[in-house]
Each structure stands twice: as structure tokens, then as C-alpha cells.
């Protein structure tokens, strides 16, 4: 399992095969939350402008390719947490790297163009496809692997953003990707999600997934970082 992509201030998407139990899913082992009510509010985020235009285009592209997809990264953090500035859109699509050329042809038909000259090779080696909209807005499209990203696809939640319905990575899975990224901005995003969605967070699921990821990737400190973020909150296990 390749750990993650790092690019500027963007969050990560996790790829690989060693991550969960026999059925590919970690089971929740705890109560969901406290009695706080802020988590029950509907997601709020951008309703117009370049990000929404990009999401509308990506939704049309995914429909044309007949593939599943989800929004993650900073825009998802805005939807599930607190408003903050971000200059791109990160999405994952269920497209095999061998279809990279087909993906790029279809993307061009929808006004999405490659940001790099060697995009096909980049897609096959890193599973990341850097694109840009006709209006100059950057999009990082990740080709889903069979590991955590496949699970995130199953758990993605439909959210109305402007006039388009967008599948968004679940709050729990967003927290997991942010913990793996581990940058100060990512930890702030988790604090925002806990503050705004605490009533909906399945803490037991996050606990179980982090234990498995720490073991599979030999990454230490994920669980302790999560504990430190939970400690000031009123969220119960």
C-alpha cells in the first residue's frame, strides 16, 4: 500500500491492499457520539464559483465513464467541517490506470485538460491525474485502488453542492486520510469536523481502522494523534 500523495497543502488519498479484515472492512466497536447536536446539521460549503463548476464537470465525466467517484481533501473538509480557503479540488474515481488515455480523452471533451505533458505515464505510475478546468481551476484526480479507496467509495455520502449532487468521502474516512497526512492544516481540519459533525462521527469505526492501518503500514502515532484530538471534545466512545 503506497502511503499517500503529497502536494502542497492538499490532503491525501490512500491506496493499497493491506488494510482491513477478511471482508475488507473494519467493524465499529463503540458508541457513535455524545449528545451534541451540531453534527446533525446539513453539510455547508460553496454553492457557486470555480469549485462548484469543477464538481459539476467531474460529475458529468464520471457519469459518461459510468464509474463511481467521491470528493475528498480540502473541499470535503469544508463540507463536513469549517469554512477555509482552498485552491483546488481533489477527487477519486474508480478508473483503472490502463484506462488513463480513455480518461484523458473523455476529460478533454468536458473541458478538463492535463496539467502535465506526461499525464498518462504519471497516472500509471502514481495513480494521480493532474487536470485543470477551462477556467484555470486545478483538479487532482486519483485513480482508486482496491484498498482503502474502494472502501471509501462504498461509504461515500451524496451531498448537494450548488445544483449538483456530489458523492463526498464520509466524515470518518476524511478523518482517517487527514490523520495519515498529519500536517498541521490536516489536524485543524479534523478539529473542524469534530466540532461541526461530532454528533455523527462513528468513533469506534475510526478507532478500528486506525489500528489496522498502523499495523498494515507500520505507521506509528495515528491512534495517539486521534486520541489527542478527541480528548478536548465531549465525544464518547
pLDDT in tens, 193-234: 999 998 889 999 999 999 999 999 888 899 999 999 998 775
Question: Does 1 have pLDDT greater than 60?
Answer: no
Cβ within 8 Å of residue 100, ≥6 positions away: 119, 120, 123, 124, 129, 143
Which element (helix H / strand E) includes 90?
strand 89-93
Question: Does 188 have pLDDT greater than 50?
Answer: yes
Lowest mean pLDDT among 18-22, 132-136, 175-179: 18-22
Cα–Cα distance for residue pair 151/168, rounded to 1 Å = 13
Nearest to 169 by CA among 76, 107, 57: 76
pLDDT confidence of residue 233: 72
CATH architecture for the domain at 44-230: 2-Layer Sandwich (3.30)
Question: Does 40 have pLDDT greater than 70?
Answer: no
Over residues 36-41, mean pLDDT:
43
Go through the chain and tell me how many residues it has: 237
pLDDT confidence of residue 21: 34
Q: How is the chain split among helix, strand and coil, in percent rounded to 5?
A: 45, 15, 40
Domain ranges of the chain: 44-230
Question: Does 15 have pLDDT greater than 80?
Answer: no
Q: Parallel, antiparallel, or unpaired: how do β-strands 113-114 and 128-132 relate?
A: antiparallel
In the block, which residue shows the cell 492538499?
Answer: 10
- Percent of all residues in the chain with a pLDDT value above 70, rounded to a whole number: 78
Cβ within 8 Å of residue 235, ≥6 positions away: 33, 34, 36, 194, 198, 201, 203
pLDDT confidence of residue 125: 94
Question: Does 115 have pLDDT greater than 90?
Answer: yes
- The pLDDT mean for the chain works out to 83
pLDDT confidence of residue 4: 40
Residue 44: pLDDT band (50, 70, 90) is low
- Are the C-beta atoms of residues 103 and 88 closer than 8 Å to each other? no
Amino acid at each position: 500500500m503506497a502511503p499517500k500523495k503529497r502536494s502542497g497543502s492538499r490532503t491525501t488519498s490512500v491506496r493499497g491492499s493491506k488494510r482491513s479484515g477478511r471482508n475488507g472492512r473494519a467493524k465499529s466497536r463503540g458508541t457513535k457520539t455524545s449528545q451534541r447536536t451540531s453534527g446533525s446539521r446539513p453539510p455547508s460549503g460553496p454553492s457557486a464559483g470555480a469549485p462548484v463548476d469543477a464538481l459539476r464537470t467531474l460529475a458529468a465525466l464520471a457519469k459518461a465513464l459510468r464509474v463511481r467517484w467521491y470528493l475528498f481533501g480540502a473541499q470535503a473538509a469544508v463540507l463536513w467541517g469549517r469554512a477555509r480557503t482552498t485552491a483546488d479540488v481533489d477527487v477519486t474515481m474508480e478508473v483503472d490506470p490502463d484506462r488513463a488515455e480513455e480518461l484523458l480523452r473523455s476529460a478533454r471533451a468536458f473541458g478538463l485538460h492535463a496539467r502535465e505533458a506526461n499525464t498518462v505515464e504519471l497516472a500509471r505510475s502514481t495513480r494521480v491525474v493532474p487536470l485543470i478546468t477551462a477556467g484555470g481551476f486545478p483538479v487532482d484526480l486519483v485513480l482508486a485502488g482496491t484498498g482503502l479507496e474502494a472502501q471509501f467509495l462504498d461509504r461515500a455520502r451524496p451531498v448537494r453542492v450548488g445544483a449538483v449532487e456530489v458523492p463526498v468521502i464520509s466524515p470518518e474516512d476524511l478523518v482517517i486520510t487527514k490523520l495519515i497526512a498529519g500536517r498541521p492544516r490536516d489536524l485543524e481540519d479534523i478539529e473542524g469536523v469534530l466540532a461541526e459533525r461530532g454528533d455523527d462521527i462513528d468513533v469506534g469505526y475510526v478507532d478500528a481502522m486506525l489500528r489496522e492501518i498502523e499495523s498494515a503500514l507500520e505507521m506509528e502515532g495515528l491512534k495517539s494523534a486521534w486520541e489527542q484530538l478527541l480528548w478536548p471534545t465531549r465525544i464518547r466512545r
